[in-house]
């Protein structure tokens, strides 16, 4: 007997509804309320081997393939360090010729470091992250964290100076800012990529202590404190093995010791071997000069798994890392749409440029200039008009605009003063250029020479190092002659690494280091020159008197045959000059102000576990508001292993009105007293007496205090 229809209908409806409901419920990996790891595991188990492998290599110059059936989009990466790069390719390096790929041009990394202001680094990262989102990127290739070992390195401008602590603090803040926008930061180049000369072949050798104390701290900090989601392996070899397959760096240190949960991305065309990289810790291969299907981590890796040479568990680990980064940065969820070239971004570009400017010399209060007391200014030098955004190779970008130094000066005083311009020097300057510049200087009340370097190959540019510290294009002679014609000559340097100043430094009353100051640079420079802004930048790197004074060069430990032995060990930058008693041209941490700061009343209070808090009073005893970077260095009295004369372990930038005083406290963790003991192996802080040195630069220590650690302890 048939059941009545009224009984059948609900059953039928239920039968139909059940599969429909199941199909409607989003899979777990798509549910943003689920924990990241649960989503990762759910997604991973849905992938075929081929799909997992597809996540591990590029399929265009800057992207990896998506998996449309599961809603995984393509993953887009972009340079770079100081703004989102213009579009290329996608399958060639040729510019794409688009009109929607401009970005805010921020001051370069060395300039950012010169602000010594982590809040600005955070805003810098936020800007990069928001613009990257707007441009449809997922991973930004930067910041660069390599230590400036030699002043000649072509990419020094992409790095944050010579000190691991300063680099760490600025980098952590920048990465936190970028990643808060759901962008992954890919910090680079891991590790020991400290020169461009032979960067793809050079085999860097150094002892483990030097590695841990100088070249790794910034990477460790961005991984453990900044939670950077990606690390780019470097081109060079390290102890005989390419960094893209260096098990010691990638597996032992980065992944196991530091617990890095993200992806190791190769530098472009830095992968050399399928099995070597698979077992050596690489997760994503980019930029190889091969058809996509032949990438080491494409067909060949798949084949190696099928042959049983690579366990699938290893592929799972790499794919899991990729999925983790995607899910943690909300690639599968609704992400903020991003924004570009906003007033806030322009403001950050301007503020960083202003605070980055370092006043290196100011005799007889030559600066600031008072426009009310001048009639004319001669602006001289190619860098006064040269736009810098579009240079340097991978860090180049298309700026929305770029205010040159001349334009900034004209905007500030052009309506009131007679401003003339003469090139004076430059690639395209003709034989009469120098004479015309000297004439212009003679005819004006003040001459401002804007010189330095540029991003042409051989200067501040990827792919090659400089061959000399001297200013190019005959600038020394130009400045000598200009300053002879007009004693009120102010020199402004636009560059990313130290230069020498041959035969003119003593003759000019004022010298300003502006770095590559980004798209608001001209405005920032004019604001400092005319006193709207009081300079507060400090050098993040030593300026040597001569190349032979700097450590790698003094020891002939640069550009050796194939192997680069870091013979100077720990003595990089000021650690070398201070320990060896060599007088630099301008020391690390140096920078003047239009006001004066006094330091007083240092107290060092011991804390739990061999920690300490140093506090002191800082007073603006001059007539202008301004900011001082107070620097704290630690010296160990009787170290068991040799230590540098002193090491930066804290700093604070303090803004003070005229006459204002503030008590400043700097906390010193146990690590501030520790060194790396290769015999343990590990970090250890010794029972010993320490001197706490507080001052305005590494060579201008104003206060000294004593601190005793009573116990020797391992420091995690």
DSSP-derived secondary structure for 246-263: -HIIIIIIIIIIS---SE
Q: Which residues are catalytic?
A: 267
- The site for ligand BGC (CB under 6 A) is made up of 79-80, 141, 188, 267-268, 394
Q: What angle do CA 423, 427, 428 make, to 5 degrees?
A: 65
How many CB atoms are located within 10 Å of the residue 617 CB?
15
Give the burial class of 9: count Cβ atoms within 10 A of its Cβ; 0-12 exposed, 13-18 middle, 19 or more buried.
exposed
Could you give the CA distance from residue 273 to residue 100 in angstroms, rounded to a whole number? Answer: 37
Question: Which CB, 58 or 384, lies closer to ligand BGC?
Answer: 58
Least spacing, CB of residue 663 vs ligand BGC, in Å: 42
Least spacing, CB of residue 254 vs ligand BGC, in Å: 18
Question: Which CB, 62 or 425, lies closer to ligand BGC?
Answer: 62
Least spacing, CB of residue 78 vs ligand BGC, in Å: 9
Least spacing, CB of residue 286 vs ligand BGC, in Å: 7
DSSP-derived secondary structure for 437-501: HHHHHHHSSEEEEEEE--SSTTSS-TT---S-SS-STTHHHHHHHHHHH-S-EEEEEE-SS----
Question: Which CB, 407 or 460, lies closer to ligand BGC?
Answer: 460
Least spacing, CB of residue 155 vs ligand BGC, in Å: 8
Question: Which CB, 80 or 537, lies closer to ligand BGC?
Answer: 80
Least spacing, CB of residue 217 vs ligand BGC, in Å: 20
Question: Which CB, 188 or 653, lies closer to ligand BGC?
Answer: 188
Could you give the CA distance from residue 453 to residue 383 in angstroms, rounded to a whole number? Answer: 8
Name the residue among 670, 651, 684, 650 with its Cα closest to residue 608.
670
Name the residue among 18, 109, 53 with its Cα closest to residue 314.
53
Strand partners, 707: 690
Least spacing, CB of residue 255 vs ligand BGC, in Å: 21
Question: Which CB, 78 or 536, lies closer to ligand BGC?
Answer: 78
Question: Which CB, 80 or 177, lies closer to ligand BGC?
Answer: 80
Could you give the CA distance from residue 294 to residue 88 in angstroms, rounded to a whole number? Answer: 22
Question: Which CB, 109 or 378, lies closer to ligand BGC?
Answer: 109
Tokens 């190889």 correspond to 288
Contact between 217 and 191 (Cβ < 8 Å): no
Least spacing, CB of residue 468 vs ligand BGC, in Å: 23
Name the residue among 125, 106, 181, 112 with its Cα closest to residue 341.
106
Contact between 269 and 287 (Cβ < 8 Å): yes
Least spacing, CB of residue 564 vs ligand BGC, in Å: 17
Name the residue among 518, 401, 405 with its Cα closest to residue 108.
518
Bridging pattern class, strands 446-452 and 376-380 = parallel
Alpha helix positions (H), 36-163: 36-44, 49-54, 109-115, 118-134
CA 483 vs. chain centroid, Å, equals: 35
Question: Which CB, 235 or 473, lies closer to ligand BGC?
Answer: 235
End-to-end CA distance of the chain: 79
C-alpha to C-alpha distances, 293 to 223, 271, 519, nearest whole angstrom = 32, 15, 40
Residue nearest to ligand BGC (CB): 394
Edge-to-edge order in the sheet of strand 241-242: 241-242, 237-238, 203-205, 563-565
């Amino acid at each position: 007997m048939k059941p009545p229809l009224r009984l059948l209908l609900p059953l039928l409806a239920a039968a139909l509804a059940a599969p429909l409901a199941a199909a409607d419920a989003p899979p777990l990996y798509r549910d943003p309320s689920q924990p990241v790891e649960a989503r990762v595991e759910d997604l991973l188990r849905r992938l075929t081997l081929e799909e997992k492998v597809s996540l591990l290599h590029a399929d265009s110059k800057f992207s990896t393939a998506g998996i449309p059936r599961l809603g995984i989009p393509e993953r887009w990466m972009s340079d770079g360090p100081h703004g989102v790069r213009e579009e290329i390719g996608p399958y060639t390096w040729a510019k794409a010729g688009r009109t929607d790929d401009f970005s805010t041009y921020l001051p370069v990394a060395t300039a950012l470091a010169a602000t010594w202001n982590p809040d600005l680094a955070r805003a810098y990262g936020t800007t990069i992250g928001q613009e990257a989102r707007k441009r449809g990127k997922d991973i930004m290739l930067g910041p660069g964290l390599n230590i400036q070992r030699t002043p000649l390195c072509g990419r020094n401008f992409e790095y944050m100076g010579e000190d691991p602590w300063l680099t760490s603090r600025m980098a952590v803040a920048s990465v936190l800012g970028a990643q808060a926008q759901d962008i992954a930061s890919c910090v680079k180049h891991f590790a020991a990529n400290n020169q461009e000369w032979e960067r793809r072949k050079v085999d860097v050798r150094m002892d483990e202590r030097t590695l841990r104390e100088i070249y790794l701290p910034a990477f460790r900090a961005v991984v453990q404190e900044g939670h950077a989601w990606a690390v780019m392996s470097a081109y060079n070899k390290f102890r005989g093995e390419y960094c893209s397959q260096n098990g010691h760096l990638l597996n032992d240190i980065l992944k196991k010791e530091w617990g890095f949960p993200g992806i190791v991305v190769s530098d472009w065309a830095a992968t050399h071997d399928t099995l070597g990289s698979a077992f050596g810790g690489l997760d994503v291969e980019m930029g190889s000069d091969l058809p996509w299907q032949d990438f080491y981590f494409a067909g060949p890796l798949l084949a190696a798994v099928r042959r049983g040479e690579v366990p699938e568990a290893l592929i799972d680990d790499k794919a899991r890392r990729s999925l983790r980064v995607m899910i943690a940065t909300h690639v599968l969820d609704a992400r903020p749409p991003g924004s570009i070239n906003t007033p806030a971004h322009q403001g950050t570009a301007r503020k960083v440029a202003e605070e980055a400017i370092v006043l290196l010399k100011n005799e007889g209060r030559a600066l600031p200039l008072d426009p009310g007391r001048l009639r004319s200014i001669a602006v001289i030098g190619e860098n006064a008009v040269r736009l810098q955004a579009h240079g340097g190779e991978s860090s180049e970008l298309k700026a929305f605009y770029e205010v040159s130094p001349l334009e900034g000066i004209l905007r500030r005083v052009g309506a009131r003063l007679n401003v003339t311009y003469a090139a004076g020097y430059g690639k395209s300057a003709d034989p009469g250029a120098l004479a015309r510049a000297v004439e212009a200087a003679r005819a004006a009340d003040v001459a401002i020479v804007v010189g330095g370097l540029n991003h042409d190959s051989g200067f501040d540019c990827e792919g090659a190092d400089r061959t000399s510290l001297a200013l190019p294009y005959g600038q020394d002679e130009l400045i000598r002659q200009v300053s002879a014609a007009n004693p009120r000559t102010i020199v402004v340097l636009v560059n990313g690494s130290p230069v020498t100043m041959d035969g003119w430094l003593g003759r000019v009353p004022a010298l300003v280091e502006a770095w590559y100051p980004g798209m608001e640079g001209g405005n920032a420079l004019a604001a400092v020159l005319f006193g709207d802004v009081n300079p507060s930048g400090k050098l993040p790197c030593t300026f040597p008197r001569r190349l032979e004074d700097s450590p790698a060069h003094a020891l002939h430990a640069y550009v050796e045959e194939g192997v680069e032995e870091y013979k100077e060990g720990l003595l990089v930058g000021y650690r070398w000059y201070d320990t060896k008693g060599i007088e630099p041209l301008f020391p690390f941490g140096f920078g003047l102000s239009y006001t004066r700061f006094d330091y007083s009343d240092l107290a060092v209070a011991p804390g739990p576990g061999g920690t300490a808090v140093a506090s002191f009073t800082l007073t603006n005893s001059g007539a202008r508001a301004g900011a001082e970077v107070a620097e704290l260095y630690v010296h160990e009295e009787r170290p068991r292993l040799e230590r540098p004369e002193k090491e930066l372990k804290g700093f604070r930038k303090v803004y003070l009105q005229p006459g204002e005083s503030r008590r400043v406290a700097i906390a010193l963790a146990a690590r501030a007293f520790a060194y790396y003991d290769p015999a343990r192996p590990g970090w250890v802080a010794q029972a010993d007496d320490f001197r706490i040195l507080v001052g305005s630069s590494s060579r201008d220590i104003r206060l000294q205090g004593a601190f005793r650690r009573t116990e020797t302890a391992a420091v995690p």
